């Protein structure tokens, strides 16, 4: 069961107009094609672990517990502080958690769904009682700021949820479905970076191809989740989709026959924060009372790999 959600966005907001003063783009192009109006950008020296820690503290506070009560941290990120150790271990130490285990998961924009699945499965197996699941990214550090086709699309941020074992199983994660297809490795990737290439790298994307897959895969994976639970889209109270492009979000909503009033949207103010978009959206919609106890919430994402997947949750 999800018992607390927290979010953190860096203080600095960069508007489309500000970008248009630096590169050949315009507020009109960005808002019309993507729905994005602004993004938050981390300060110099502000790292993924700092964002993750701030979001985690808020989630723990909402759940009424502290680091010592957590036995597993799963942090989804494609922008870890260092190649190793896992950024999750830095968060673990900062939260004063000395037992249990903390590790990172890498599934880019689908990372939060993967992390949630991992934590949920560990709880189901009795390997953990209370998990902290985080999505945290500083994509601003891996963007080619000369490439207008990508740099306008992303932002920095972090979101976290506390997941607890429950008796009975009426509320909580009903199912998770994970998919990947490595044949699309080169359609959305960083051309270097920490690891075996030994070079620094920047994000590269075949935008149209990613778009085409996103509109199909996100709706498809929600359908799979509903089917597996004997439910239909009529039963859904909320769709919390990965936030990459408002047109992708609207198309996913249409495919699932959901009115936009049932779809949580943050992309206009936060742009694409990769693994952080879903927990950021959850935190916002829980804080303002839209997502409430007993409701049925579907989350879905698609990203580099390609990876995609869904989670169905009875709140
Ligand atoms: O999290 C998962 C990862 N990301 C996504 O899901 C993103 C998926 N893809 C998309 O959202 C869209 O493909 C984009 C928003 C990236 C691009 O939209 P599009 O409608 O596919 O545009 P395009 O790439 O076909 O470009 C159309 C035109 C091109 O000019 P020409 O060749 O028609 O003269 C681009 O050079 O728009 C131009 N363009 C821009 N113009 C102004 C591309 N980026 C910009 C820009 N400002 N920032």
Convert the pLDDT of each residue in 99-143 to its tens digit. 999 999 999 999 999 999 999 999 999 999 999 999 999 999 999
Residue from 33, 213, 267, 307 to probe ligand 1 pocket by mutation (most atoms less than 8 Å from CB): 33
CATH superfamily of 172-314: Thiolase/Chalcone synthase (3.40.47.10)
Q: Is residue 272 annotated as a catalytic residue, yes or no?
A: yes
What's the rounded Cα separation, in Å, for the pair 286 and 83? 33
For residue 52, report the phi and psi dihedrals to the nearest 5 degrees: -60, -40
pLDDT score for 102: 98
- The whole-number average pLDDT for the span 239-254 is 98
Q: pLDDT for 269-309, tens place per residue?
A: 999 999 999 999 999 999 999 999 999 999 999 999 999 99
pLDDT score for 108: 98
Sequential DSSP letters for the chain: -EEEEEEE--SEEEEHHHHHHHSS--HHHHHHHH---EEEEPPTT--HHHHHHHHHHHHHHHHT--GGG--EEEEE-SS-SSSSS-HHHHHHHHTT--SSEEEEE--GGGHHHHHHHHHHHHHHTTS-SEEEEEEEEEGGGG--TT-HHHHTTB-EEEEEEEEE--SS-SSEEEEEEEEE-GGGGGGEEESSBSSTT-B---EEE-HHHHHHHHHHHHHHHHHHHHHHTT--GGG-SEEEE--S-HHHHHHHHHHTT--GGGB---HHHH-B-GGGHHHHHHHHHHHTTSS-TT-EEEEEEEETTTEEEEEEEE-
Q: pLDDT band at residue 200, thresholds of 50, 70 and 90? A: confident
Ligand 1, atom 41, lies closest to the CA of 25
What's the rounded Cα separation, in Å, for the pair 145 and 151? 5
Ligand 1, atom 24, lies closest to the CA of 207
Q: pLDDT band at residue 84, thresholds of 50, 70 and 90? A: very high
* Contact status, residue 62 vs residue 11, Cβ threshold 8 Å: no
What's the rounded Cα separation, in Å, for the pair 174 and 225? 9
The CA-based angle 51-77-169, given to 5 degrees, is 95
- The whole-number average pLDDT for the span 10-31 is 98
Which of the following is catalytic: 5, 40, 151, 272? 272
Fold of 2-164: Peroxisomal Thiolase; Chain A, domain 1 (3.40.47)
* Contact status, residue 273 vs residue 62, Cβ threshold 8 Å: no
For residue 27, report the phi and psi dihedrals to the nearest 5 degrees: -60, -40
Residue from 207, 271, 275, 276 to probe ligand 1 pocket by mutation (most atoms less than 8 Å from CB): 207
* Contact status, residue 56 vs residue 95, Cβ threshold 8 Å: yes
For residue 232, report the phi and psi dihedrals to the nearest 5 degrees: -125, 170
Ligand 1, atom 47, lies closest to the CA of 25
- The whole-number average pLDDT for the span 244-262 is 98
Q: pLDDT for 146-195, tens place per residue?
A: 999 999 999 999 999 999 998 776 789 999 999 999 999 999 999 998 77
pLDDT score for 217: 98
Which of the following is catalytic: 16, 177, 242, 245? 242
What's the rounded Cα separation, in Å, for the pair 89 and 36? 33
Q: In whole angstroms, what separates CA 107 from the centre of its chain? A: 10
Give the sign of the dihedral formed by CA 220, CA 238, CA 264, CA 58: negative
Q: pLDDT for 117-128, tens place per residue?
A: 999 999 999 999
Listed in order, the ranges of the chain carrying CATH 3.40.47.10 are: 2-164, 172-314
What's the rounded Cα separation, in Å, for the pair 306 and 109? 10
Query: At residue 43, does pLDDT exceed 80?
Result: yes
Percent of the chain with pLDDT over 70: 100
pLDDT score for 111: 98
pTM over 0.95: yes
What's the rounded Cα separation, in Å, for the pair 226 and 203? 33
pLDDT score for 169: 66
Q: pLDDT for 232-242, tens place per residue?
A: 999 999 999 99
What's the rounded Cα separation, in Å, for the pair 240 and 263? 6
Pairing of strands 2-8, 156-164: antiparallel
Average pLDDT, the chain: 97
């Amino acid at each position: 069961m999800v018992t607390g959600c927290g979010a953190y966005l860096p203080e600095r907001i960069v508007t489309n107009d500000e970008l248009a003063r630096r590169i050949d783009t315009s507020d009109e192009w960005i808002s019309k094609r993507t729905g994005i109006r602004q993004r938050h950008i981390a300060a110099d020296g502000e790292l993924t672990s700092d964002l993750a820690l701030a979001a985690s503290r808020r989630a723990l506070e909402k759940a009424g517990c502290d680091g010592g009560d957590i036995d597993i941290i799963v942090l989804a990120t494609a922008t870890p502080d260092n190649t190793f150790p896992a950024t999750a271990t830095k968060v673990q130490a900062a939260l004063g958690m000395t037992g249990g285990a903390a590790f990172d998961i890498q599934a880019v924009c689908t990372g939060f769904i993967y992390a949630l699945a991992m934590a949920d499965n560990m709880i189901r197996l009795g390997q953990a009682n209370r998990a902290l699941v985080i999505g945290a990214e500083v994509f601003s550090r891996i963007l080619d700021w000369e490439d207008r086709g990508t740099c306008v699309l992303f932002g920095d941020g972090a979101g976290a949820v506390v997941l607890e074992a429950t008796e009975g199983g009426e509320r909580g994660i009903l199912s998770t479905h994970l998919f990947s297809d490595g044949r699309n490795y080169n359609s959305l990737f960083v051309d270097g970076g920490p690891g075996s290439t030994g070079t620094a790298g920047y994000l590269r994307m075949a935008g149209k191809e990613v778009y085409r897959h996103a509109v199909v895969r996100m709706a498809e994976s929600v359908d799979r989740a509903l089917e597996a639970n004997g439910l239909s889209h009529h039963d859904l109270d909320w769709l919390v989709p990965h936030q990459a492009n408002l047109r992708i979000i609207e198309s996913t909503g249409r495919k699932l026959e959901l009115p936009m009033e049932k779809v949580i949207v943050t992309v206009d103010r936060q742009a694409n924060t990769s693994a952080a978009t879903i927990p950021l959206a959850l935190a916002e919609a829980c804080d303002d009372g839209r997502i409430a106890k007993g409701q049925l919430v579907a989350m879905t994402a698609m990203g580099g790999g390609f990876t995609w997947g869904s989670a169905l949750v009875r709140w």
